[in-house]
C-alpha cells in the first residue's frame, strides 16, 4: 500500500517552521502553539504508521541522472525506522511541551520554536531516508538546526562560539561521510540502500577500498555522535537552552550516527577491519568521557560527558557487529537521558540559571518530584536493576565479553565510573546543605515542566524489560543465561555508588582535584594549537603570497606600466576612466576590423 501518510509526519514540522518564520514571528504564543501542534500531530501519525504493517510511502525524484546517479526522495519504513519515528516524535513532543514552560519568557521564543520544528523535520528526514544522499541532506540540516539552537542566545559569546564549533566539527566529519558515500556509490553504482545492499559484491571484492569507504562513512557518525576525536563540540553545545540539550544533544540527534551505522550495517559489517576500528573508537570514547565526567562541576556538562560515554557504548556495540544491542541502548538511553536533562533544566531554571553543582545542595526536599524522577534517570543510567539501562547495557557488556575481552574490561570500568560520577552529582546536588542563596530559595518547577518529567520517568524505568522493549526494537538473541556478566556489572555499579557516596557526602568542595580530567585531557587546547599551526598559518601565508607576490608581482608591474600610459593619456587631456573605457571599446572594434577583414 502506497501512502502519503509518512510524508505528513515529515512535512508537518517543516510547515510549522515555515509558517512561524513567515507569518507568526511576532506572535510568540501562537508560534509556540503551532510548533507543539505540529509535533503532536506528527507523533500521532507516527503511531499510526508504527501500527500499520507493510506501509509504503510515495517516492519522488530529487535528481535523476540515470544510469549514473539516481537520487529519490523516498522512505524506508521497516521496524528500525518505525521505532525511531515513534521515539523521535514522542520524546520530541514531550520536550516541546516542556519548552513551553522553560522558554516562557524568552524574547526569541518564536525563533526557538521555529528552529525546534525545523529540527524535528530534519531528524525525521534522517530516520526516513532510503538513500545516502537524502540522508546526507537531512544530516546536514540537523547540524544546521543544532547550530541555530545552540546559538539561540547568540548575543552571548560562549553560545556563539559553541554553535560555530558544533557546525564546523560536524562539517569535518561530514567531509569523510560524503567521501565515503561517493566511494561506495562509485563502486556499487547506486546511493539507494536497498540497491547498494544487492550490489555489495561489487565493492567487497576490493577489501581495502571497502574498509576505507566504510571508515569514511563512519566519520560522519564520529562527527554527529560526537565520538573521539571529534567529541569536543558536544559539551560546549550545552550553551543552548536545556530542552535542546535533552532533545538534540542527548536523545535524538547524537543518536543519528548510531542509527545511520545500523542502517548501513550491510556495508560496515562487510569489513572486519572497519568494525575493529569502530569498536575501539567507541570504547575509547566511553572510557575517556566517563573519566572527564568525574571532574566536571557544571551539571549540564556532566550529563553531556555522560552522553558521550553512553554513545561510546552504542558505537562499541556497532563495532562488535550487533546493531540490535546498539539500538536497544539507544532506545533506553533516549528516555533516561532526556529525563535527566529535563530534570537538570528544571533545577537550573528554578535556581536562576545556576549550573554549578557546588552552588546547589539539599535540593531533594525542595524539588521533590524533580528529585525522584532524576533518581529514576540516574538509576537507569548507571544500570541498576531493574531499571531500563541495566538491560541494555548488559546486552552490550555480554557482547563484549563474548567478542573482545579487552573491550569488555574497559566497558566494565566505564560502568564503574558512570555510577561514580552520577552519584557524585546526585549527592552533591540533592543532599547535604544548600551552598548558595538560590539553592536555599529553590522550589519546584511549574506543572508544564514537571509533567514531561513524570511521563519520561515511566519508560526510563520500564523500557528495558524484554516484553516492553521487544515491541519496539529487535533484541539481541538471548544466549544461555549467564550470570557472570550482569553480576560483574552490578558489582562495578555498586562499587561506584559506594565510592561516590563515601567521598562526597557532606562535602563543601570537591576533595579530588585532577587537572588532566578537569581540563578534559586538554583536547581543546591541543586542537586550538593544531589549527593555529596548520590552517591559520597556511591561511596567513597564502594571504601574504596573494597580496605581496601574486598581486604585487603581476599587478603592480602592470599597474606601473599603466600609470605610465595613464600619464601619457593625461598629456592628451583624456586621462580619466571614461575616456579610457571609450578608447578601449574603440580599440576592440579596430582590432576586429584589422584582424578579420584586412
Partner 1 sequence: MILLFIVLLPILAAIAILFGAPPRRTALWAAGFTLVATVLMYLGFEAGQRGFQAVISFPISSDWKINFTLGVDGLSLMMLLLTAVVTFAAIWFTGKITQHEHAFYACLLLIAGGAFGAFASLDLFFFYAFHELALIPTFLLIGIWGTGNRQAAAWKITIYLATGSFILLLGLIMLYRSLPEAARSFDIRALQKTAGLIPAEAQSNIFLLLLVGFGILVSLFPFHSWAPEAYASAPAPAAMLHAGVLKKFGLYGLLRVAIPLLPGGAERWNTLLIVLLLGNIIYIGLVTIAQKRLDWMLGYSSVMHMGYIFLGIASGTLLGTSGAAVLIFAHGISIALLFAISGEIRQRTGTLVLRELGGLGKIMPRAAFAFGLAAFASIGLPGFANFTGEVMVLFGAFRNGANPERFGIYQIAAVLGLWGVVISAVYMLRAYRRVFMGPALESLSGATDLQRSLRIPIGMLVALTLWFGFFPQTFVRIVTPTFKSYFTSKP
Say whether residue 272 binds partner 1 (CB under 8 A).
no
User: Which of 259, 136, 264, 274 is CA-nearest to residue 200?
Assistant: 264
Q: Which stretch binds partner 1 (CB under 8 A): 278-286, 374-382, 484-492, 553-561?
A: 553-561
In the set 15, 40, 172, 375, which binds partner 1 (CB under 8 A)? 172
Say whether residue 136 binds partner 1 (CB under 8 A).
yes
Say whether residue 559 binds partner 1 (CB under 8 A).
yes
Q: Give 368 or 585: the residue with its C-beta nearer to partner 1.
A: 585
Site string for partner 1, 357-396 (x = CB under 8 A): ----------------------------------------
Say whether residue 68 binds partner 1 (CB under 8 A).
yes
Tell me how many degrees the CA angle 186-191-194 measures, rounded to the nearest 5.
125
Question: H/E/C letters for each residue in 401-440?
Answer: HHHCHHHHHHHHHHHHHHHHHHHHHHHHHHCCCCCCHHHH
Number of residues that bind partner 1 (CB under 8 A): 68
Q: Which stretch binds partner 1 (CB under 8 A): 362-370, 380-388, 509-517, 538-546?
A: 538-546
- 538's grid cell: 597556511
Say whether residue 526 binds partner 1 (CB under 8 A).
no
- 277's grid cell: 576500528
* Contact by Cβ (8 Å): 479, 398: yes
DSSP lists the bridge partners of residue 250 as none
Say whether residue 58 binds partner 1 (CB under 8 A).
no
- Residue spans of alpha helices (H) in 189-321: 193-198, 201-204, 207-224, 233-236, 242-246, 256-263, 265-268, 272-293, 299-319
Say whether residue 195 binds partner 1 (CB under 8 A).
no
Say whether residue 438 binds partner 1 (CB under 8 A).
no
* Contact by Cβ (8 Å): 74, 57: yes
In the set 133, 256, 347, 376, which binds partner 1 (CB under 8 A)? 133
Transcribe 311-335 into DSSP letters. HHHHHHHHHTT-HHHHHHHHHHHHH
Say whether residue 155 binds partner 1 (CB under 8 A).
yes
Say whether residue 567 binds partner 1 (CB under 8 A).
no
- 514's grid cell: 585532577
Say whether residue 199 binds partner 1 (CB under 8 A).
no
Q: Which stretch binds partner 1 (CB under 8 A): 131-139, 286-294, 407-415, 429-437?
A: 131-139
Say whether residue 542 binds partner 1 (CB under 8 A).
yes
Q: Give 510 or 524: the residue with its C-beta nearer to partner 1.
A: 524
In the set 6, 92, 151, 377, which binds partner 1 (CB under 8 A)? 151
Q: Give 207 or 487: the residue with its C-beta nearer to partner 1.
A: 207
Say whether residue 64 binds partner 1 (CB under 8 A).
yes
In the set 7, 8, 33, 144, which binds partner 1 (CB under 8 A)? 144
d(CA 239, CA 148): 12
Q: Give 216 or 320: the residue with its C-beta nearer to partner 1.
A: 216
- 417's grid cell: 565510573
d(CA 268, CA 81): 18
Q: Which stretch binds partner 1 (CB under 8 A): 154-162, 291-299, 425-433, 506-514?
A: 154-162
d(CA 496, CA 418): 7
Which distant-in-sequence residues (6+ apart) come within 8 Å of 396 by Cβ?
A: 313, 314, 316, 317, 320, 322, 325, 326, 329, 411
The H or E element containing residue 388 is helix 388-403
Say whether residue 157 binds partner 1 (CB under 8 A).
yes
Q: Which stretch binds partner 1 (CB under 8 A): 202-210, 248-256, 280-288, 472-480?
A: 202-210
d(CA 580, CA 585): 9
Say whether residue 59 binds partner 1 (CB under 8 A).
no
d(CA 325, CA 399): 8
Contact set with partner 1 (CB under 8 A): 61-65, 68-69, 133, 136-138, 140-141, 144, 151, 154-157, 159-161, 163-164, 167-168, 171-172, 175, 178-179, 182, 185-187, 203, 206, 209, 535-536, 538-543, 546, 550-551, 554-555, 558-559, 562, 566, 577-578, 580-582, 584-585, 588, 591-592, 595-597
Amino acid at each position: 500500500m502506497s501512502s502519503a501518510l509518512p510524508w505528513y509526519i515529515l512535512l508537518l514540522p517543516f510547515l510549522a517552521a515555515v509558517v512561524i518564520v513567515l507569518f507568526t514571528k511576532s506572535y510568540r504564543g501562537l508560534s509556540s502553539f503551532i510548533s507543539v501542534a505540529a509535533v503532536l500531530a506528527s507523533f500521532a501519525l507516527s503511531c499510526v504508521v508504527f501500527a500499520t504493517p507493510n506501509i509504503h510511502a510515495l517516492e519522488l525524484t530529487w535528481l535523476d541522472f540515470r544510469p549514473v546517479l539516481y537520487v529519490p526522495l523516498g522512505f524506508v519504513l521497516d521496524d528500525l525506522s518505525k521505532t525511531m519515528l515513534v521515539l523521535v516524535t514522542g520524546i520530541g513532543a514531550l520536550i516541546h511541551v516542556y519548552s513551553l514552560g522553560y522558554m516562557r519568557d524568552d524574547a526569541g521564543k518564536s525563533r526557538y520554536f521555529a528552529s525546534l520544528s525545523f529540527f524535528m523535520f530534519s531528524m525525521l528526514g534522517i530516520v526516513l531516508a532510503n538513500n545516502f544522499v537524502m540522508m546526507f541532506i537531512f544530516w546536514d540540516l540537523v547540524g544546521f538546526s543544532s547550530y541555530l539552537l545552540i546559538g539561540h542566545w547568540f548575543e552571548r559569546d560562549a553560545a556563539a562560539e559553541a554553535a560555530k564549533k558544533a557546525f564546523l566539527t560536524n562539517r569535518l566529519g561530514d567531509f569523510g561521510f560524503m567521501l565515503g558515500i561517493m566511494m561506495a556509490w562509485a563502486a556499487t553504482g547506486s546511493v539507494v540502500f536497498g540497491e547498494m545492499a544487492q550490489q555489495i559484491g561489487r565493492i567487497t571484492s576490493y577489501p581495502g577500498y571497502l574498509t576505507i569507504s566504510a571508515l569514511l562513512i563512519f566519520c560522519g557518525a564520529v562527527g554527529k555522535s560526537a565520538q573521539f576525536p571529534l567529541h569536543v563540540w558536544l559539551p560546549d553545545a550545552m550553551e543552548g537552552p536545556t530542552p535542546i540539550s535533552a532533545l538534540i544533544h542527548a536523545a535524538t540527534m547524537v543518536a543519528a550516527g548510531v542509527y545511520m551505522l545500523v542502517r548501513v550495517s550491510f556495508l560496515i559489517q562487510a569489513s572486519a577491519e572497519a568494525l575493529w576500528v569502530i569498536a575501539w573508537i567507541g570504547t575509547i570514547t566511553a572510557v575517556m568521557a566517563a573519566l572527564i565526567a568525574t571532574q566536571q562541576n557544571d551539571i549540564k556538562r556532566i550529563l553531556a560527558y555522560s552522553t558521550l560515554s553512553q554513545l561510546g557504548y552504542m558505537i562499541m556495540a556497532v563495532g562488535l557487529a550487533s546493531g540490535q544491542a546498539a539500538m536497544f541502548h539507544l532506545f533506553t538511553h533516549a528516555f533516561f537521558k532526556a529525563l535527566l536533562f529535563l530534570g537538570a533544566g528544571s533545577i537550573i531554571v528554578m535556581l536562576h540559571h545556576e549550573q554549578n553543582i557546588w552552588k546547589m545542595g539539599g535540593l531533594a526536599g525542595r524539588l521533590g518530584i524533580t528529585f525522584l524522577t532524576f533518581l529514576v534517570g540516574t538509576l537507569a543510567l548507571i544500570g541498576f536493576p531493574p531499571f531500563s539501562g541495566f538491560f541494555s547495557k548488559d546486552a552490550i557488556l555480554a557482547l563484549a565479553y563474548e567478542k573482545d575481552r579487552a573491550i569488555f574490561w574497559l566497558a566494565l570500568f566505564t560502568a564503574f565510573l558512570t555510577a561514580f560520577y552520577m552519584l557524585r552529582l546526585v549527592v552533591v546536588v540533592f543532599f547535604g546543605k544548600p551552598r548558595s542563596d538560590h539553592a536555599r530559595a529553590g522550589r519546584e518547577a511549574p506543572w508544564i515542566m514537571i509533567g514531561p518529567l513524570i511521563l519520561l520517568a515511566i519508560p526510563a524505568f520500564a523500557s528495558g524489560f524484554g516484553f516492553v522493549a521487544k515491541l519496539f526494537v529487535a533484541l539481541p538473541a538471548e544466549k544461555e543465561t549467564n550470570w557472570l556478566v550482569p553480576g560483574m556489572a552490578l558489582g562495578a555499579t555498586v562499587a561506584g555508588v559506594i565510592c561516590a557516596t563515601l567521598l562526597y557526602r557532606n562535602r563543601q568542595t570537591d576533595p579530588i582535584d585532577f587537572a588532566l580530567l578537569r581540563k578534559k585531557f586538554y583536547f581543546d587546547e591541543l586542537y586550538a594549537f593544531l589549527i593555529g599551526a596548520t590552517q591559520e598559518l597556511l591561511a596567513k601565508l597564502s594571504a601574504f603570497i596573494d597580496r605581496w607576490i601574486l598581486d604585487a608581482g603581476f599587478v603592480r608591474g602592470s599597474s606601473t606600466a599603466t600609470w605610465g600610459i595613464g600619464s601619457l593619456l593625461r598629456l592628451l587631456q583624456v586621462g580619466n576612466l571614461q575616456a579610457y573605457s571609450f578608447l578601449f571599446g574603440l580599440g576592440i572594434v579596430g582590432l576586429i576590423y584589422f584582424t578579420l577583414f584586412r
